[in-house]
Amino acid sequence: MASSWPFLALIPLAIFLHLLLSPHTKVEESFNLQAVHDILAHGIPGSNAEQFFKRNYDHVAFPGSVPRTFAGALVLSGLARPFVGLVGREGEGVQVLVRGVLGLCNALALMAFGRSVHNVFGSTAAIWYALFQASQFHVIYYASRTLPNMFAFVFSNLALRALLNAHAVSYSRQDVNRRLRLCLYLLTIAGVVFRSELALLVATTTLYLLSTARLSIIRVIVPAGLGGLLIGLACTIPLDSFFWQSSFPLWPEWTAFRYNTIQGHSADWGVSPWHFYFASALPRLLLNPLTYALCIPLALLNSATRRPSCTLLAPLLSFVALYSLLPHKEWRFIIYTVPGLTGVAGAGASWIWRRRGKSPLYGLLSLALVLSVLASAAASAALLALSSLNYPGGAALGALHAGVSPLAHPQHLRVHADNLACQTGVTRFLERHSRGSPQAAVSWSYDKTEDPAQLLDPLFWAHFDYVLAERPEKVIGSWAVVHVVYGFGGVRVVRPGEESGGVGEEVEGKGAVGFGSGEWEGDSDWTGKVARVWRGLEGRVREGVLRGWWVEVRMEPRIRILRNLMK
């Protein structure tokens, strides 16, 4: 039998590829990312903490609707710190490093679960698990993103590994209890510290194991429940009470649960029908339709794989069903189920693959599996290319830094980033303190003010040299557009004879006011590169191969870089 390790190695390779091609972040990731930056850049105060946090930490000025835990950011900054010097002290390189460390943690957890698939279902099943997992999009794309869910994702995958390993035939009853206890420990700790929805997964897993007489209440449930709760509270309450300078013991995840679920504020972000997770979210997360339409049912029908498959499927699908009762739904709330479902799909695919030479039907199904993985990988690559165009704020800040000539600006420059820029990529990691030699250095300061009263004050805008703005008409004063950053605006099919609208049309105002020399120096952002590549493909492929058909990626102006004409 072939070794599964080379195939499992595809998972970290895919994660790092997605990270490098889409290095910027969105607002959902900002709390943890800014917290890691602040810890790395400013350290942790030993005294006068309140004033220190006010001067240096982002969460004081932008706390969000509810406090979030610093536990993940603190561990991530500690893991990244030894390597910061290799990529420089500031800039996109450090941000990529931090995200890369988180991506590696999730990759190792996914690979560890893959080894449990190997132990229980066999090496062929582990290989198919790796192929299915690496060719998916959402798990791979988000594995390096600093969402609270992706910190909890490390724990949930290791918990599923322990749960599945309990089925290995060589283990004694004591070993089984130890692995089941570890599973519940990890899920409980992750639920207490990072994401409260995991409490439902703890409940469904416990009830399933009780119903199958595989769980000892005294030896497993009590120590795992109480121990996980106490360890989780010890990790979050002292730490977060300090960072948030709370006068009372602060448990962020309980605060978020009360705000979103008990008080019902989660519905403010939208309501979805009860079937959303099963009808829409899970098919998109798994991406390959053969995983849930063919492979998972076969794993359940096969007597050799039925019991371990049920051990994964019953708690995971029950968790999704219970979570469907809440009105507000997002795919990331159930992402913890994807590796388990993919592992079961690997078992079903293995059953087909090992019979590929026995009949034409199995041969055709095996070919369909191979083609489905290739199609999923192609779809994932297309989604990666399109998703990378959704971060105009980060691209705009990079273009601004690239476009300013230090020889023409030996001074201090003040930059304001509006709400859209901050939501789509502007982070503290991307800020620069100086550029150029000491004799001709540009120093920078950045502002993210959202106060409507200040934004209506002409004196407020007079302080800035440059503004990253979605709507220039709201910027008061005398300004000129020096560059426009485009973002993804949709996809449409162009029929033969129809004229394409093009990708990334000429930038309005380009060169009207230059940075220093009168010419824009930073016209090489990622969106422009993708636009040029896509235009090149259109010219060669549309008429020569597709006979006039084409898929048009529309790019729309998102962020304008404005220069103050009064300075």
Given this model, what pLDDT does residue 101 score? 98
Q: What phi and psi, each to the nearest 5 degrees, are found at residue 446?
A: -130, 145
CA atoms in the 13 A half-sphere facing the CB of 112 = 18
The CA distance from 74 to 38, in Å, is 10
Q: How many CB atoms lie within 10 A of CB 138?
A: 19
**Whether the predicted pLDDT of 436 surpasses 70:** no
- Give the C-alpha separation, 257 to 254, whole Å: 5
Model confidence at 518: pLDDT above 50: no
437-452 pLDDT, tens digit each: 554 577 899 999 999 9
Give residue-wise pLDDT tens across range 194-225. 999 999 999 999 999 988 876 777 778 888 88
Angle, CA 339 vertex, CA 333 and CA 343 arms, to 5°: 150
pLDDT of residue 504: 46
* pLDDT attached to residue 533: 67
Per cent of the chain over pLDDT 70 is: 88
What pLDDT, on the 0 to 100 scale, is given for residue 119?
Answer: 93
- Show contacts of 306-310: CB within 8 Å, 24+ apart: 307/167, 308/120, 308/121, 308/164, 308/167, 308/347, 309/344, 309/347
Q: Which tens digit of pLDDT belongs to each residue from 493-502?
A: 888 777 766 5
Quickly list DSSP for 115-146. HHHHHHH-HHHHHHHHHHHHT-SHHHHHTTS-
Q: Per-residue b/e over 526-558, b at no fewer than 16 CB within 10 Å?
A: bbbebbeebeeebeeebeeeeeeebebbebebb
User: Tokens 């109480």 — which residue?
Assistant: 226
Cα–Cα dist 542/207, whole Å: 56
pLDDT at 412: 86
> If you average pLDDT over residues 23-28, what whole number do you get?
94
Q: What is the mean pLDDT of residues 314-339?
A: 95
Question: Tokens 């198919």 — which residue?
Answer: 128
What are 551's strand-pairing partners? 493
Exposure of 448 by Cβ count < 10 A (0-12 exposed, 13-18 middle, 19+ buried)?
A: middle
Please report which confidence band the pLDDT of residue 167 belongs to, taking 50, 70 and 90 as the band edges.
confident
User: Distance from CA of residue 192 to its chain's centroid?
Assistant: 21
Which parts of 55-166 are beta strand (E)? none
Reported residue count of the chain is: 567
The answer for residues whose C-beta is within 8 angstroms of residue 55's C-beta and 6 or more apart is none
- pLDDT tens-digit map of 397-428: 999 988 887 656 667 899 999 999 999 999 99
Give the tokens for residue 182: 């570890």
Instruction: State the DSSP string of 338-388.
Output: HHHHHHHHHHHHHHHHTTTTT-HHHHHHHHHHHHHHHHHHHHHHHHHHHHT
User: pLDDT (tens digit, 9 = 90+) per residue, 28-58?
Assistant: 999 999 999 999 999 999 889 999 999 999 9
d(CA 68, CA 250): 10
Residue 299, pLDDT > 90, answer yes
Distance, in Å, from the CA atom of 209 to the CA atom of 199, rounded to the nearest integer, reads 15
The answer to whether the beta carbons of residues 166 and 176 sit under 8 Å apart is: yes
Residue-wise pLDDT tens digits, 503-513: 444 444 333 33
Token duo for residue 186: 């990890």
Number of neighbouring beta carbons within 10 Å of residue 475: 18
Q: What is the largest CA-CA distance in the chain?
A: 80
Other C-beta atoms closer than 10 Å to the C-beta of 344 total 31
pLDDT > 50? residue 374: yes
Phi and psi (nearest 5°) for 435? -145, 135
Q: How confident is the model at residue 275 (pLDDT cuts 50, 70, 90)?
A: very high
Whether pLDDT at 257 is above 60:
yes
Q: Judging by beta carbons within 10 Å of its beta carbon (0-12, 13-18, 19+), is residue 495 exposed, middle or buried?
A: exposed
Residues 334 and 320 sit within 8 Å (Cβ to Cβ): yes
Higher pLDDT, 168 or 169: 168
265 secondary structure, DSSP code? G
For 365, residues 6+ apart whose C-beta sits below 8 A from its C-beta are 294, 352, 356
112-158 tens-digit pLDDT: 999 999 999 999 999 999 999 999 999 999 999 999 999 999 999 99
Categorize the per-residue pLDDT at 521 as very low, low, confident or very high, splitting at 50, 70 and 90: very low
User: How much is the average pLDDT of 16-20?
Assistant: 97
Quick one: tokens of 383? 């989604």
Both structure tokens of 213: 């007489």
For residue 562, give every residue at least 6 positions away whose Cβ sits within 8 Å of its Cβ, in sequence order, or none.
Answer: 466, 467, 468, 469, 472, 475, 479, 480, 481, 482
388 is written with which tokens?
A: 């990378």
